[in-house]
Amino acid sequence: EVQLLESGGGLVQPGGSLRLSCAASGFTFSSNWMSWVRQAPGKGLEWVANIKQDGSDKNYVDSVKGRFTISRDNAKNSLYLQMNSLRAEDTAMYYCARGGSRPDYWGQGTLVTVSS
């Protein structure tokens, strides 16, 4: 059974940092693109970033470029999102998802709240 378990969310002040993690199981992690997608409270979905199987290709939405970094550790079956210089508008549920273009499995999300 495919499972994606996010962690690392929480309350952080504007300008602060957080590192999200996603533990994957039930499939060959190293064979799949992976993505982070977020959803602000009561709002729609926004793709944040995706990463190729070997980490050699990464894409970011403009609003997070230069502040967020997506990475992966295939030996640990884990996906990460390092988030720096956080802003109020980054407040959202962050989902880890399998696939780089039309994810077929999603985790339950981890909530990030940016507030003073």
Partner 1 sequence: DIVLTQSPATLSLSPGDRATLSCRASQRVRSYLAWYQQKPGQAPRLLIYDASNRATGIPARFSGSGSGTDFTLTISSLEPEDFAVYYCQQCSIWPYTFGPGTTVDIK
- Tally: H helices and E strands in the chain: 0, 11
Our CB check for partner 1 shows the closer of 75 and 102 to be 102
Burial of 6 from C-beta contacts in 10 A (0-12 / 13-18 / 19+): buried
* Least distance in angstroms from the C-beta of 50 to partner 1: 8
Q: Which of 102, 82, 71, 77 is nearest to 24 (CA)?
A: 77
Of 11 and 45, nearer to partner 1 (C-beta) is 45
Q: Which is nearer to partner 1, 29 or 50 (CB)?
A: 50
Binding stretches for partner 1 (CB under 8 A): 37, 44-47, 59, 61-62, 95, 101-104, 106-109
Q: How far is the CB of 104 from partner 1 (least distance, A)?
A: 5
